Amino acid sequence: MQRVICHWTAGHHKASEDDKAHYHILIEDDGDVIRGKPTIDLNAAPAKKGYAAHTLNCNTGSIGVSLCCMALATESPFNPGKAPMTKAQWDKLAVVVADLCRFYGIPVTPKTVLSHAEVQGTLGITQRGKWDFTRLAFAPEVKGAKACGDLLRTAVARLL
Ligand SMILES: [Zn+2]
């Protein structure tokens, strides 16, 4: 596996069946970690039937981790909606990503540990207006895909 791409589900605080179909790993509002249906192995090149389709044209070699949150959220003006991202989810995300980096030997760089919102700008693969994540509901002062991604990478690197 070459990279970890971090998302939010745009759903509720608990992992739904649909959430489990699209990601390898889900993190609920209290930090509970839930395994999705596709195994990470299915996304190894060449991607196999039943792979996790989490990032348009960028699923091969990509592990998809998603925070269960942000139902009915809007980017501008920012409204975190009915299920705002929690600090517990964010903190657990760093732990999960650090474990994955250690296990698969993935370095912590902007091209290998990133959010979905960074895929278009950093990897040059067009996405359809994805903003997971350009804002953090528990830290409104952090703004923009890079600021959020840098915060995540710093937290992951500290754990390694
Ligand atoms: Zn996403």
At 25 the pLDDT is 98
Torsion of the alpha carbons at 144, 83, 77 and 126, rounded to the nearest 10: 50
Helices (H), 12-144: 17-22, 87-104, 116-118
The candidate with the shortest Cα–Cα distance to 132, out of 28, 62, 55, 29, is 55
At 13 the pLDDT is 98
Determine the distance separating the centroid of ligand 1 and the alpha carbon of 83, expressed in angstroms: 16
Determine the distance separating the centroid of ligand 1 and the alpha carbon of 45, expressed in angstroms: 20
pLDDT, tens digit (0-9, with 9 covering 90-100), for 32-69: 999 999 999 999 999 999 999 999 999 999 999 999 99
At 111 the pLDDT is 98
Determine the distance separating the centroid of ligand 1 and the alpha carbon of 90, expressed in angstroms: 15
Instruction: Give the span between the Cα atoms of 5 and 111, in whole angstroms.
Output: 9
- Does this model's pTM top 0.75? My answer is yes
Determine the distance separating the centroid of ligand 1 and the alpha carbon of 123, expressed in angstroms: 14
At 63 the pLDDT is 98
At 139 the pLDDT is 97
What does the domain layout of the chain look like in residue ranges?
3-159
Q: Which amino acid is at 77?
A: P
For ligand 1, a single-atom ion, which residues have Cβ within 5 Å?
7, 116, 132
At 17 the pLDDT is 98
Determine the distance separating the centroid of ligand 1 and the alpha carbon of 8, expressed in angstroms: 6
Determine the distance separating the centroid of ligand 1 and the alpha carbon of 130, expressed in angstroms: 6
Determine the distance separating the centroid of ligand 1 and the alpha carbon of 140, expressed in angstroms: 20
For domain 3-159, give the CATH superfamily.
Peptidoglycan recognition protein-like (3.40.80.10)
pLDDT, tens digit (0-9, with 9 covering 90-100), for 106-132: 999 999 999 999 999 999 999 999 999
At 132 the pLDDT is 97
Determine the distance separating the centroid of ligand 1 and the alpha carbon of 5, expressed in angstroms: 8
pLDDT, tens digit (0-9, with 9 covering 90-100), for 124-154: 999 999 999 999 999 999 999 999 999 999 9
Q: How confident is the model at residue 23 (pLDDT cuts 50, 70, 90)?
A: very high
